[in-house]
Every structure is written in C-alpha cells, then in structure tokens.
C-alpha cells in the first residue's frame, strides 16, 4: 500500500515540486540554441496543421468559382506543398529535440553517478541498490520521454487549441460560441469517464494478480499444503478470489458499454449539432459550405487536442514527480573527496593510529551505541589483532578508520592528525582492506588486481600477484591474467579470490592495512597459502586484523579484546594467554572446546 500512495504523490506534484523540477533546465542550457531551433520547427509544423482545414474548405468551395479546374489544381498543389513543409518541419523538430534531450540526459546521468560516488557510507546504510539504480535509470528515462515527446506534444496541442479557436472565431463567432458551449464539456466528460474506467481496469488486474499469487504460493509450498491436508482450503480460497475477479470484470463491462454509448451519443452528437447549426447559418447566408467544412475539421482538431491534453499533462506531472527523489539525492551531503585519476598518494603516511574516547552509533540506530569510549594507540608498523564476539565493534572500528562514518564524540588521529582534516580521497590512498567476502568485479584478473592502482603496468600487476602467491594458479588458466572472473568472481574459488584481493592490496602498497577475517571462510589448505601471503603483506606496515578464529592471531604484536563496544583487554598474545581470568584466554578455551 505504501508504494501505491508514494506513486500517487509523485503524479501530483505541488508548485514547489514544479519549481524544483524546472531546476533541471540547467542541463539543457548548454544546448539552448538547438532547443530554440527545435521550438521554431515545432511552431512551423503546428501552423501547417492549422492551415489544412482552411485550404480544404476552399477546395470544397472551388466548384462554385468561375475557373473551377484551375482553382482545384492550385489548391491541390498548395496542400501538397503544405504536406511537404509539415513533413520537413516535423522531421527536424524531432531530430533537434532528441539531440538536446540525449545530451542533457547524458549530462544528468553523469552528474547523478558522480553524486552517488561522493556520498558517504551512512547514506547507503538505509537504502537498497535497486532503489538507487532506479534513480539513474527509470527516473531519468521518464524525463527522456518528457523532453523528447511529451513536452513538444503539450506545446503543439496548446498551439492547435488556441490557434484553432482563433480561426474559428474569424470564420463565425456565432457558430464558435455554440461549439464551445457543447464540445469541450463533452470531451472533458469523456476524459474523466475514461480515466475512471482505466482505474477500474487496474483494479481487475490487481485482483487477477492476487489470484495468481494464491496459485504461486500453493505450488511453491505444495509439500506444506499436503502435509496439513489443506487442498480443499486452497481450492476454496482460489475459487472465491476468481469469482470476485469475474464479478468485478462484469461490472467493468457495464462501465465500458456505457462509455461506448456515451462516445457515440456525446461526441458524434456534438458534431451533428455543430453541422446542424452550421447548416442553419448557411441558409441564412452567414457562412458558406466550405467554411462549415473547415469549421467541423477545426472542431475535431480542437476536441482531439483537449482530450489528449489531459493525458499529456498527467505524463508531465508524473515526470516532475519522478524528479523529486532524484533532486533529493542531489541535496544529500557529500564526503570531502577529490576524485581524480592519480592513484599514487602525494606523500606517504607513517601509519601511527590513535583513537581517543571514541563513541559511535550508526545513523539508522542512533539509540544503540556500538563503541563506548574507545582509547587505543597503534604504533606505525605494528600489527594489532581485534578479537571479540559478534557485535562487539571490531568491524565498526575499521569502518571509522576508513572514514566511512563520522564519530559521535572523541577523535581518530592518523600521524597525529584527525582524519576529518585529510582530503578523504588522498587519505584512503594510504589504506587497503582485504575483507572476508571479497568482491571482484566482472572483468579480468588483471583488471581486478589493477583496481588497487589503476595506472599500474602489467609487470607491476604480475609482481603483486607473485607476492600474493597467486601467480601460479593465474598462469594455469588458458587466458592467464586476461581470464574473466565472472560476476563477483564466481569463476574463482574462495582461496583464489582472497589471493587476488591480497595482490590488489600489494599493488596499492598501503601504509595501513585492514584484514577483516580474511581467512575465516577458507579450508585448511587454502588458509595456509593465504596466511603466507598475508604475513608477507603485513610486513613493514601498520596492520589491523579482525579474526574470529583466534589461532590465526598469534603472529600479532598485540591483541585488543572488544566486548559490547568496550576495550576490555590489551596485550601481546603470549601475555594474554597466561592471564588466568583474562577475556582472551576465556574466548580461546571456548573455541578449543
């Protein structure tokens, strides 16, 4: 129900929404000359449309003229030339509007993607990928139709309505007032009636979908249905729903029949009434038959434009409504990033870390404090293992170090400088992470390793793979480094993906390394190979390693034990193991049991 309400709100934007929607004009502004030329061709093709009924009326009057054949040929040639002129104008109008729209929307897509790249992790915490993807695809596609077709159609119909009524008034004021008294009212009533029938048809479709859901759920859960002997219950439920669909559809049939009768009686009756009134005026000598013929055509044009205006206006409203969330996206606060192609940091970091009284809770769960006054100092080049039960704050600590979220209170310093004072783009070039669930992009092995430093040569990529003990299995593939890994690296085993991620980190050559349970999901053989690569990678750089498997952290210089957001224990591995009532020893004994 929430989605339907949201959809209806997007179809009825207020004036503030309209004003915000018009702000997208800045993407058209660079092409305003082309857009203005397209508008000129739009006016020309609309004017040609308005000229047709006038000349067709003169063609009807031609038999009463003295030079009958010459007059008919002259008007026929004129109409043919008008057709060519309209075709010419319509072609260039469409071409120019499409050119402007595609260039403007390409710029809008680029700006939206750039904005998504600059938003902090806090923004992504409460949003689905599909929702964000719809901003850059569905919403912008909706604007594409508006810029290329709908807006031009709206302006064209306005020109035909205003221009047609003006020409009708010039032909016969009396007949025009008679037509305006009946035809627009009937057209508007037909539009409203048609909209009601469309809504009723959607209701029928929704009920059919509900009945299909019953079938789908029953077939998927057939074992449960049979286990509980509920075949008759399911059949009864489906029968009631399909009978309800039939009743609703039959009622809709009555409405459609009434609508057809109304169209025949109303619209055709209005045309008959106009011709009847015009015939009386012909008898009085107020107009001639050709003018009446033109008048009926203009009335049909105007009636059709009034009828189509409602749908076109609804599409424009929908497009403006679809920009609401897109514009909300542009108003989100960005990270302090400097996005550029240079992957190498300007100056190295020593890698000394300091957490001072850090308190933190995630934006979506502000009432639940994850870190509660963490004080921690890590020397440059030191390897520190973070251990503790799930939810104790280990991963959160590394997320804060990466600058994904601002702390609630306290501060985090790197080389005695708060990370908030660094340019985040420059700062993150000094960090690398090897996660438990490695995400590889769908390209080649070389492209995935090169993601650590995109300007690296193939020789540097191979050297990084060799350090990560990955060169052997890579060269066994027929395509070597050009092997496509598939979506999320599905073509590689878990251990192979981990070693590619380690090679990526080697290539980046970070000052600070984060290992987030990098071996926990591997078998013993793969773990041994990956562990050797990790030890090589950690050598000479500040390393924070998160581990649930406590036997893997004996190599650490120091172990930090976290419990419910508190730092409860700290010290070298051998010392912590010897503490009789220590928390690390208790965790280790629990795992061994």
Q: Could you report the per-residue pLDDT of 170-211, keeping only the tens digit for each?
A: 777 877 787 777 777 777 777 777 677 767 777 777 777 777
Q: Label residue 327 exposed, middle or buried (CB < 10 Å: 0-12, 13-18, 19+).
A: middle
Regarding beta strands 558-563 and 542-546, do their DSSP bridges make them parallel or antiparallel, or are they unpaired? unpaired
Per-residue confidence (pLDDT) for residue 2, from 0 to 100: 40
pLDDT at 226 over 50: yes
Q: Is residue 197 part of a domain?
A: yes
Q: Is residue 575 part of a domain?
A: no
pLDDT at 6 over 60: no
Per-residue confidence (pLDDT) for residue 400, from 0 to 100: 92
140 and 13 both lie in a single domain: yes
pLDDT at 61 over 80: no
Q: Which CATH number covers residue 109?
A: 1.20.1560.10
Q: Is residue 468 part of a domain?
A: no
* Cα separations in angstroms, 534 against 116, 375, 537: 32, 27, 5
Q: Which residues contact 553 (CB under 8 A, 6 or more apart)?
A: 385, 387, 545, 547, 559, 573
Per-residue confidence (pLDDT) for residue 166, from 0 to 100: 82
Q: Determine the average pLDDT of the residues in 144-171.
A: 77
Number of domains into which the chain is organized:
2
**Three-state DSSP state, 230:** coil
| Per-residue b or e along 493-514, where b marks 16 or more CB atoms closer than 10 Å to that residue's CB | ebbbbbbbbbbbbbbbbbbbbb
| Nearest in space to 544 (alpha carbons), one of 510, 508, 501, 593 | 510
81 and 108 both lie in a single domain: yes
Q: Determine the average pLDDT of the residues in 16-32.
A: 73
Better-scored residue on pLDDT, 13 or 95: 95
Q: Is residue 590 part of a domain?
A: no
148 and 8 both lie in a single domain: yes
> pLDDT category, 345, cuts 50, 70, 90?
low
Do 417 and 459 touch, CB atoms closer than 8 A? Answer: no
Per-residue confidence (pLDDT) for residue 356, from 0 to 100: 92
Better-scored residue on pLDDT, 582 or 447: 447
Per-residue confidence (pLDDT) for residue 12, from 0 to 100: 47
- Give the rounded percent of residues in the chain with a pLDDT score beyond 90: 7
22 and 120 both lie in a single domain: yes
Q: Which residues contact 162 (CB under 8 A, 6 or more apart)?
A: none
Query: pTM for the whole thing?
Result: 0.68
DSSP 444: B
Q: What is d(CA 302, CA 94) in angstroms, rounded to the nearest whole number?
A: 23
pLDDT at 565 over 50: yes
CB neighbours (10 Å) of residue 373?
15
Q: Which residues contact 262 (CB under 8 A, 6 or more apart)?
A: 189, 190, 193
Query: Token pair 């870190």 is at which residue?
Result: 371
N- to C-terminal Cα separation, the chain = 51
pLDDT at 235 over 50: yes
35 and 150 both lie in a single domain: yes
Q: Determine the average pLDDT of the residues in 90-95.
A: 88
The mean pLDDT of the chain is 79
Q: Which residues contact 567 (CB under 8 A, 6 or more apart)?
A: 374, 375, 376, 560, 561
Beta bridge partners of 359: 372, 409
Q: Determine the average pLDDT of the residues in 472-482.
A: 88
13 and 108 both lie in a single domain: yes
pLDDT at 370 over 70: yes
220 and 99 both lie in a single domain: no
- Segment holding 354, helix H or strand E: strand 353-360
Per-residue confidence (pLDDT) for residue 584, from 0 to 100: 77
Per-residue confidence (pLDDT) for residue 360, from 0 to 100: 92
> pLDDT category, 8, cuts 50, 70, 90?
very low
Q: Is residue 138 part of a domain?
A: yes
Q: Is the dihedral of CA 13, 18, 20, 23 positive or negative?
A: positive
Q: What angle do CA 423, 427, 432 make, to 5 degrees?
A: 150
> pLDDT category, 376, cuts 50, 70, 90?
very high
Strands (E), 407-532: 409-414, 417-418, 431-434, 512-516
Q: Determine the average pLDDT of the residues in 523-545.
A: 78
pLDDT at 307 over 70: no
Q: Could you tell me the residue range of the domain that residue 234 belongs to?
A: 173-286
- Segment holding 377, helix H or strand E: strand 371-378
183 and 261 both lie in a single domain: yes
* Span of 35-39, 291-295, 438-442, 554-558 with lowest mean pLDDT: 291-295
pLDDT at 140 over 80: no
Q: Label residue 442 exposed, middle or buried (CB < 10 Å: 0-12, 13-18, 19+).
A: middle
Better-scored residue on pLDDT, 191 or 31: 31
147 and 177 both lie in a single domain: no
Q: Is residue 591 part of a domain?
A: no
Q: What is d(CA 324, CA 139) in angstroms, rounded to the nearest whole number?
A: 9
1 and 117 both lie in a single domain: yes
Looking at 300, 335, 370, the residue that finishes a domain is 335
Q: Determine the average pLDDT of the residues in 26-38.
A: 86
pLDDT at 285 over 90: no
Q: Determine the average pLDDT of the residues in 461-474.
A: 88
Better-scored residue on pLDDT, 202 or 92: 92
Q: What is d(CA 104, CA 285) in angstroms, rounded to the nearest whole number?
A: 56
Per-residue confidence (pLDDT) for residue 526, from 0 to 100: 66
Q: Determine the average pLDDT of the residues in 260-287.
A: 75
Q: Is residue 228 part of a domain?
A: yes
> pLDDT category, 20, cuts 50, 70, 90?
low
Written as six digits, the tokens of 92 are 């260039």
320 and 218 both lie in a single domain: no
Per-residue confidence (pLDDT) for residue 346, from 0 to 100: 59
84 and 49 both lie in a single domain: yes
Q: Is residue 428 part of a domain?
A: no
């Amino acid at each position: 129900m929430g989605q339907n309400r949201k959809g209806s709100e997007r179809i009825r934007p207020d004036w503030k929404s309209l004003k915000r929607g018009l702000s997208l004009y800045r993407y058209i502004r660079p092409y305003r000359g082309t857009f203005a030329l397209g508008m000129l061709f739009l006016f020309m093709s609309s004017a040609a449309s308005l000229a047709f009924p006038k000349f067709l009326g003169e063609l009807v009057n031609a038999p009463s003229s003295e030079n009958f054949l010459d007059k008919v040929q002259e008007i026929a040639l004129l109409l043919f030339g008008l057709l060519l002129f309209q075709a010419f104008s319509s072609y260039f109008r469409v071409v120019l509007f499409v050119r402007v729209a595609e260039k403007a929307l390409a710029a809008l897509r680029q700006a939206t993607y750039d904005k998504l790249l600059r938003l902090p992790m806090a923004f992504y915490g409460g949003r689905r990928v599909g929702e964000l993807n719809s901003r850059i695809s569905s919403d912008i596609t909706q604007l594409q139709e508006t810029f290329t077709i709908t807006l031009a159609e709206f302006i064209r119909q306005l020109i035909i309505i205003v221009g047609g009524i003006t020409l009708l008034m010039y032909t016969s004021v009396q007949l025009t007032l008679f037509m305006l008294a009946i035809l627009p009212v009937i057209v508007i009533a037909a539009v409203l009636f048609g909209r009601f029938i469309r809504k009723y048809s959607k209701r029928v479709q929704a009920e059919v979908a509900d009945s299909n859901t019953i079938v789908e759920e029953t077939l998927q859960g057939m074992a449960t249905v049979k286990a509980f002997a509920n075949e008759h219950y399911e059949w009864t439920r489906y029968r009631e729903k399909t009978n309800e669909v039939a009743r609703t559809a039959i009622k809709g049939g009555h409405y459609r029949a009434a609508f057809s009768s109304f169209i025949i009686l109303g619209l055709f009756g209005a045309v008959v009434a106009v011709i009847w009134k015009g015939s009386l005026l012909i008898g009085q000598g107020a107009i001639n038959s050709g003018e009446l013929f033109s008048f009926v055509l203009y009335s049909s044009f105007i009636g059709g434009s009034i009828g189509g205006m409602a749908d076109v206006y609804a599409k424009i409203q929908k497009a403006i409504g679809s920009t609401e969330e897109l514009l909300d996206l542009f108003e989100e606060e960005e990270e302090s990033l400097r996005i550029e192609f240079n992957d190498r940091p300007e100056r190295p970091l020593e890698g000394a870390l300091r957490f001072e009284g850090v308190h933190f809770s995630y934006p979506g769960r502000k009432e639940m404090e994850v870190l509660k006054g963490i004080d921690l100092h890590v020397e440059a080049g030191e390897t520190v293992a973070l251990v503790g039960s799930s939810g104790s704050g280990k991963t959160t600590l590394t997320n804060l170090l990466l600058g994904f979220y601002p702390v609630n209170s306290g501060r985090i310093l790197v080389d005695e400088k708060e990370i908030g004072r660094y340019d985040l783009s420059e700062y993150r070039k000094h960090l690398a992470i090897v996660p438990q669930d490695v995400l590889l992009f769908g390209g080649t092995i070389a492209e995935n390793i090169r993601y650590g430093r995109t300007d690296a040569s193939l020789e540097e990529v191979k050297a990084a793979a060799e350090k990560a003990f990955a060169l052997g299995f890579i060269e066994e593939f027929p395509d070597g480094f050009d092997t496509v890994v598939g979506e999320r690296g599905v073509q590689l085993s878990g251990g192979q993906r981990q070693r590619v991620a380690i090679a990526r980190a080697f290539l980046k050559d970070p000052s600070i390394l984060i290992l987030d349970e990098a071996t926990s999901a591997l078998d013993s053989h793969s773990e041994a190979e990956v562990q050797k690569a990790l030890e090589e990678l950690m050598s000479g750089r500040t390393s924070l390693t998160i581990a649930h498997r406590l036997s893997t952290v004996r190599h650490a210089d120091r172990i930090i034990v976290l419990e419910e957001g508190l730092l409860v224990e700290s010290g070298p591995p051998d010392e912590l193991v010897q503490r009789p009532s220590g928390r690390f020893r208790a965790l280790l004994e629990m795992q061994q049991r």
